[in-house]
Amino acid sequence: MFLSHIYLIPLFPALGAALMFFFGRKLRKPTVSAVCVGSVVLAFLMSCGAVLEYTTWAAEHHHQPYEKILYTWLGTDTGHLNYLKSDGTEAPLQADAGFLLDPLSSIWLLFVTGVGMLIHIYSTGYMAHEGGYYRFFGYLNLFMFSMLTLILANNYVLMFVGWEGVGLCSYLLIGFYFHRKSASDAANKAFIVNRIGDAGFLLGIFFIAWYMGSLRFIDVTHAARSGQFAIGDPIITAATLLLFVGACGKSAQLPLYVWLPDAMEGPTPVSALIHAATMVTAGVYMVARSNALFVLAPKSMLVVAIVGALTAVFAASIGLVQNDIKRVLAYSTVSQLGYMFLALGVGAFSAAVFHVFTHAFFKALLFLGAGSVIHAMSGEQDMRNMGDLHKRIPTTHATMFIATLAIAGIFPFAGFFSKDAILWETWSREGGAYRILWCVGYATALMTAFYMFRLMYLTFHGRPRMSHDVEHHIHESPMAMTLPLVVLAVMSLFAGFLGWPHSLGGSDHFTKFLEPVFAGEAQTLSEEGRAAQLASGEKEEEKNTGTEWLLMGLSLAAAGIGWGMAWRSYRHADKGYAEPIANLSAPVYTTLLNKYYVDEGYDYVFTGRRQVGDVRLGVLGAGEASSWFDTHIIDGAVNAAGSITRGTATFSSWWDKWIIDGIGVNGPAILARMLSYPARLFEWGLVQWYALVMTAGLVGFAFYYVYH
Amino acid sequence: MLHITTLHYLVLGAALFLLGVIGVLTRRNVVIVLMSIELILNAVNLNLVAFSRYWQGIHGPTALHGQVFAIFVITDAAAEAAVGLGILIAFFRNKETVNVDEVNLLKW
């Protein structure tokens, strides 16, 4: 029942959004909240029902994905619209309005609707005193609709529709305070940078359609696993790399990560929902969805892994010194997304999905907690002006502390399991390159613990550094905000247990649940001979367990060291406290504080907002050149065409005015007017004249008949 | 003592009719014009009644068609007066005058 009506899941938020756009202005705030929160609650309940129903359905159907196709919306289902495939045969161009439910989309469905619902509830408290309440909730519902379309799509084109939809909503919500220039700039930046990625994604889709002959995930996966394509196939490598460019844009990986930190201009619930928990994981989803293609392209996988690891350490290092509480979390998000791509790149798809899942909870919790802190601090976001809040807002402190333990990877919080799964999988891929990536990931884990505990100590401990005015107003947030915090804290604690690894005596339900989606991948990887542990026997398994324990101990140690360093440096932070990194090396500190000057570099090289000497480079000079081409050639042609048009028009106008109108139209009219003067004498409008004429006529007739 | 014949009535009717026509053609005030139209109608009524009386002399007292017809004309005159006054009021609202020669829109 739920499964066959799966299309209702995105429909509920769509209806909510439509209602807000058409009637929102007239509705009162409680109505708006009821409609928009209600639609997401319905979607969540539907999702739970659908996933439950799917698990029983799948047990009877060999763990196939469930596909529900409503109709064909692009192309025709009769096959009349064909295109030429790479091998010279024809394939029908066809994209359905179809929905696909399998373990992978189930997981996304559950946490997107679940976390989305909590954030909607939180927003009713957070946005209570803001203008544009209905607009905000309309956008949020539209976002939920797009995200659910992205997740449930059964083909690349419909997924792209959702992909663009979430991009649009991200743009709208980052620019929610559009009267602030920084916010509208950030919105534009996010949109434009995402566009670069989208171009890659779109080209990737074209490649897939051209090479595989279908856009449906099931068909593509089936074709990729059928063995008709060789491992390392250059076209598939190109296609997967292009898909990964798309993922880089949406999921904020190097070098397209720059929009995400700026996206913090949006309201905090938006940062939590879109820029931490759900939308930014769309790239991971897309790569995981295309896993069958990626395993055929080891080079792409290596690129994914390297980019992921570099992003992880790069963003984490920037996060070490940022002072804005939301920016720290933003860089942390970029860094954690890097982890996920590292996992995807080493072929540990289920570990990546697991990290997405746990990350959704603790990162949403951190952002919502930060929102609660900002709420308490009357809008202050700079951690230098905070301190000693733990007694004043105890619920926020307690829940954020749990989230910090989770992200730092302390046993047994959720982050420990997912992060260790990633590090372990990286380590166990054979080959020197992967060991280096492991080291990078390990360093990131240490940095993560440091910057997160730095955030906690600066915000909640040390000496109070805010002004008296602000201090006076500090208050715990309302129930609508603290309740989601508590629920997310519970999830941050327990979500990891779903993937309790075998080495610790668990049974790793999470990986088992995802097995049907990634089953073919293990096969291919072991054929490749690069995942020896999958093919090896018992003996090696035992040896590995020891190594796994050692690695777990090491990462716990890293988390402990990071925590300890933060504790030492910031525990007593008072006004004008010293940054340890600045003490160590001032240039390094400045570089990190300025985010490696990447934005400035992009301004010089790509956007042309900063000049090099007298020249605005802009996309490596292409901007300047195309500007010249535009003003001289294009505009010249335009102007020439304009002049010719104007000359012709002048003549045409003269001709029309004097010849056509003058002789042709007005001439007969003037003639008629002159001829009509005598006739007008009888008709000059006076009633009594008419009466006189009538009387004269009557008298005339009378005389005629009498004397005739 | 002069006997009053039908011809007398007809002469009186013709005189009234002529007065009415002159009134309609020459007076500028719409109210007077309407009153003159009443005069014309009453001249007609006079004719009708006179002929009715003439017919009674020939066909007996039941020949009342002319008199009935005169009653119809009176009814019609009342209706016409109502409509005419209505037009007059609409006319005054638009033009702030009751003079017919100041309205000359009744042409093309």
Contact A684 B104 (CB under 8 A): yes
Q: Which ranges constitute the DSSP H helices of A474-508?
A: 479-494
* The predicted structure's pLDDT at residue A678: 78
- Predicted confidence band of residue A680 (pLDDT cuts 50, 70, 90): confident
Q: Cβ B25–A690 below 8 Å, yes or no?
A: no
Q: Distance (Å) from the C-alpha of residue A683 to the closest C-alpha of chain B? A: 6
- pLDDT tens digits for A146-182? 999 999 999 999 999 999 999 999 999 999 998 999 9
Say if residues A312 and A339 touch (Cβ distance below 8 Å). yes
- Whether residues B100 and A691 touch (CB distance < 8 A) is answered with no
User: Mean pLDDT score of chain A, rounded to an integer?
Assistant: 87
Domain ranges of chain B: 6-96
> Which pLDDT score is estimated for A250?
93
* Residues A442, A362, A265, A377, CA torsion sign: negative
Amino acid found at A122: Y
Contact B25 A692 (CB under 8 A): yes
pLDDT band at A95 (very low <50, low <70, confident <90, very high): confident
Cross-chain Cβ contact B105/A687 below 8 Å: no
In whole numbers, what is the pLDDT of chain B averaged over residues?
A: 88
pLDDT per residue over A234-266, tens digit each? 999 999 999 999 999 999 998 899 999 999 988
Q: Return the pLDDT at A704.
A: 94
pLDDT tens track for A266-318: 899 999 998 888 999 999 999 999 999 998 999 999 999 999 999 999 999 99
Q: Cα dist. A159→A99, A162, A191, B107 in Å?
A: 10, 5, 18, 71
Q: A534 pLDDT band (50/70/90 cuts)?
A: very low
Q: In Å, what is the CA distance from A548 to each residue of A357, A553, B38?
A: 22, 9, 121
* pLDDT value, residue B107: 63
Q: Give the CA-trace dihedral at A238, A240, A242, A246, to 10 degrees.
A: 180
Rounded Cα distance, A472 and A474, in Å: 6
Q: Is the pLDDT of residue A401 over 50?
A: yes
Share of chain A above pLDDT 70, in %: 94
Instruction: Give yes or no for residue A701 having a pLDDT over 90.
Output: yes
pLDDT in tens, B62-104: 888 889 999 999 999 999 999 999 988 988 888 888 888 887 7
pLDDT exceeds cutoff 60 at B108? no
What would the pLDDT profile of A360-387 be if each residue is shown by its tens digit? 999 999 999 999 999 888 888 888 888 8
Half-sphere exposure of A614 (CA within 13 A, CB side): 0
- Minimal CA separation from A679 to chain B, in Å: 11
Lowest mean pLDDT among A393-402, A586-595, B4-13: A586-595
What's the CA gap between A662 and A654, in Å, rounded?
10
**DSSP, residue by residue, A177-215:** STTSHHHHHHHHHHHHHHHHHHHHHHHHHHHHHHHHS--
Using a CB-CB cut-off of 8 Å, the residues of chain B touching A669 are none
3-state SS, residue B31: helix
Strongest mean pLDDT among A510-519, A535-544, A605-614: A510-519
Residue A698 C-alpha, separation from nearest chain B C-alpha, in angstroms: 12
| Class of the CATH domain delimited by B6-96 | mainly alpha
* Structure-token match 């096959």, residue found: A79
Residue A532 has pLDDT above 90, yes or no: no
- Pairwise pLDDT comparison (A535 vs A648), residue with the higher score: A648
Pairwise pLDDT comparison (A121 vs A592), residue with the higher score: A121
Pairwise CB contact (< 8 Å): A686 & B24:
no
Q: pLDDT by residue (tens digit) across A535-551?
A: 444 334 445 778 888 88
The structure tokens listed for A698 are 């009557």
**Per-residue pLDDT reduced to its tens digit, A516-527:** 888 765 555 555
pLDDT at A116 over 50: yes
Cβ atoms A141, A102 nearer than 8 A? no
ipTM associated with this complex:
0.79
Q: What is the average per-residue pLDDT within A185-194?
A: 91
Distance from CA of A656 to the nearest CA of B (A): 29
User: Which residues have CB under 8 Å from A377's CB, separation 6+?
Assistant: A385, A386, A389, A466, A470, A474
Q: With 90 as the cut, is the pLDDT of residue A514 above it?
A: no
Task: Choose from A684, A686, A706 for mutation: most chain B CBs within 10 A.
Answer: A686
Distance from CA of A684 to the nearest CA of B (A): 6
Average pLDDT over residues A610-630: 71
Residue with tokens 């829940």: A399
DSSP state at residue A12: H
- pLDDT(A499) > 90: no
| Per-residue pLDDT at A531 | 45
Packing angle of the helix pair A479-494, A414-428 (nearest 10 deg): 40
- For the cut 50, the answer to whether the pLDDT of residue A214 exceeds it is yes
Name the residue of chain A whose CA is nearest to B104's CA.
A685
Q: How many residues does chain A have?
A: 708
Helix crossing, A234-250 with A181-212: angle to 10°? Answer: 160
The secondary element (H helix, E strand) that includes residue A32 is helix A29-60
On the question of pLDDT at A410 being above 80, the answer is yes
In chain A, the percentage of residues whose pLDDT exceeds 90 is 46
Contact indicator for A418, A496 with CB cutoff of 8 Å: yes
CA A152 to each of CA A161, A248, A627: distance values in angstroms, whole numbers, following the listed order: 11, 21, 42
Mean pLDDT for the stretch of residues A87-113 = 88
Task: Closest CB to A685: pick one of B21, B26, B107.
Answer: B107
Write out chain B residues lying below 8 Å of A683, CB-based: 107-108
Q: Span A638-648, mean pLDDT?
A: 94
What was the pLDDT predicted at A540?
Answer: 45
- Shortest alpha-carbon distance between residue B41 and chain A (Å): 15
Q: Which of B21, B24, B101 sits opposite A686 (nearest CB)?
A: B101
Is the pLDDT assigned to residue A92 strictly greater than 50?
yes
Q: Give me the residue from B25, B103, B104 closest to A691, CB to CB.
A: B25
Residue of A nearest to B106 (CA): A685
What is the CA angle A495-A498-A503, rounded to 5? 125
- What tens digit of pLDDT does each residue of A334-363 get? 999 999 999 999 988 989 999 999 999 999
What distances in angstroms separate CA A282 from CA A151, A201, A339, A397, one per listed residue? 8, 12, 14, 30
Contact A685 B21 (CB under 8 A): no
Q: What angle do CA A62, A67, A69 make, to 5 degrees?
A: 155
Inter-chain CB proximity A683 and B108 less than 8 Å? yes
Q: Which two tokens stand for residue A336?
A: 């954690």
Strand-pairing partners, residue A472, are: none
| Dist CA A448 CA A562 (whole Å) | 8
Q: Looking at the complex, does the CB of residue A679 fall below 8 Å from at least one CB of chain B?
A: no
